[in-house]
C-alpha cells in the first residue's frame, strides 16, 4: 500500500551523515511507491513552543507565525508515517528539530486526532558508545507512544564524525532497509 511519509531532518549538513541516510531511505521508500515529503528544519524558521495553549484557535496550528504552520503541520496531520532524522547534538535532539517536535503539542491542544501513524528514527553520533543516542531515541519513542504512533524501526549509527563517515558503515543500507518496514 502506498503511504504518505513525512520526514523531518535536523542536520544542517546537506552532505552529512544523517542526510545521506535520509536520502537512502527516501530513494528506497519512493521505489516502493510511497510518497515522501521532506522538511529540513535547519533551513526553516520554526522557533519554539510558547505554551500559550491557543493552538488552532485562530486557524493556524501555532499562534506564533513560523514555518511550522501551513505545509509542515498539514503534511504531518495527513501523513501515514512520520520519520525523524537527526544527529546527536550534546546528547540530545538538535534544537531546530526539537522546535518542530515541541510544536506537535499544537495537535493535542487543538484537538487534532493524529493517532495511528507509523514512526521511525534515523540517527547517528560521533562517539562509539551507542547509548549516546539514547537522548534522541528515548524522546522520539516516548513521543510516538504518547501520540499513539507505532515505532516501526530505528537506524542508530555510532562512530561517525565527519561528513561522509557514514559511507564506512552500513548506515545507508540500514536506512534503505527501513523503507521495508512501512
Ligand atoms: C553541536 C554539535 C553537538 C554534537 N554533540 C555530540 C554528542 O553529544 N555526542 C556525539 O557522539 N556526537 C556529537 N556531535 C557529532 C555529531 O553527532 C556527528 O558529527 C554526526 O555524524 C553529525 O551528523 P550529520 O553529518 O548528519 O550532521 C555533535 C556535533 C555538533 C555539531
DSSP string, 146-167: HTTPEEEEEEEE-S--STTGGG
**Ligand 1 atom 28, closest CA:** 89
Q: Which of 8, 89, 175 to mutate to test the pocket of ligand 1 (most atoms within 8 A of CB)?
A: 89
The Å distance, Cα 6 to ligand 1 centre, comes to: 23
Does the beta carbon of 160 lie inside 6 Å of ligand 1?
Answer: yes
Alpha carbon distance 113, 93 (integer Å): 25
Cross-strand bridge partners of residue 82: 6, 119
- Number of structural domains the chain divides into: 1
Name beta bridge partners: 85. Answer: 9, 122
Question: Sign of the C-alpha dihedral, residues 33, 10, 146, 90?
Answer: positive
Q: Which residues of the chain have pLDDT under 50?
A: none
Q: What pLDDT score does 1 carry?
A: 87
Its domain, for residue 130, covers 4-181
Q: How far is the CA of 120 from the centre of ligand 1 (A)?
A: 20
Laid out side by side, the sheet with 35-40 consists of 35-40, 4-9, 81-87, 118-124, 150-157
> Which pLDDT value is given to residue 21?
99
- 42 Cβ inside 6 Å of ligand 1: no
Q: Write down the pLDDT at residue 16.
A: 98
Q: What is the CATH number of the domain that holds 175?
A: 3.40.50.360
User: Rounded to whole angstroms, what are the CA distances from 168 to 89, 135, 158?
Assistant: 21, 24, 11
- Note the pTM of the prediction, 2 decimals: 0.98
Residues 14-41: tens digit of each pLDDT: 999 999 999 999 999 999 999 999 999 9
Amino acid at each position: 500500500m502506498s503511504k504518505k511519509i513525512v520526514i523531518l531532518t535536523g542536520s544542517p549538513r546537506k552532505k552529512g551523515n544523517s542526510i545521506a541516510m535520509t536520502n537512502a531511505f527516501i530513494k528506497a521508500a519512493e521505489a516502493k511507491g510511497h510518497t515522501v515529503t521532506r522538511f529540513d528544519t535547519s533551513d526553516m524558521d520554526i522557533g519554539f513552543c510558547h505554551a500559550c495553549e491557543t493552538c488552532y484557535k485562530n486557524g493556524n496550528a501555532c499562534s506564533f507565525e513560523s514555518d511550522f504552520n501551513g505545509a509542515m503541520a498539514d503534511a504531518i496531520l495527513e501523513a501515514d508515517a512520520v520519520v525523524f532524522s537527526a544527529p546527536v547534538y550534546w546528547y540530545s535532539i538538535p534544537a531546530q528539530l526539537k522546535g518542530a517536535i515541541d510544536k506537535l503539542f499544537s495537535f493535542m491542544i487543538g484537538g487534532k486526532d493524529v493517532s495511528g501513524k507509523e514512526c521511525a528514527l534515523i540517527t547517528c553520533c560521533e562517539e562509539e558508545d551507542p547509548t549516546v543516542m539514547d537522548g534522541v531515541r528515548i524522546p522520539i519513542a516516548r513521543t510516538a507512544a504518547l501520540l499513539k504512533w507505532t515505532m516501526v524501526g530505528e537506524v542508530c549509527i555510532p562512530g561517525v564524525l565527519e561528513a561522509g563517515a557514514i559511507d564506512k558503515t552500513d548506515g545507508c543500507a540500514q536506512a534503505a532497509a527501513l523503507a521495508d518496514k512501512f
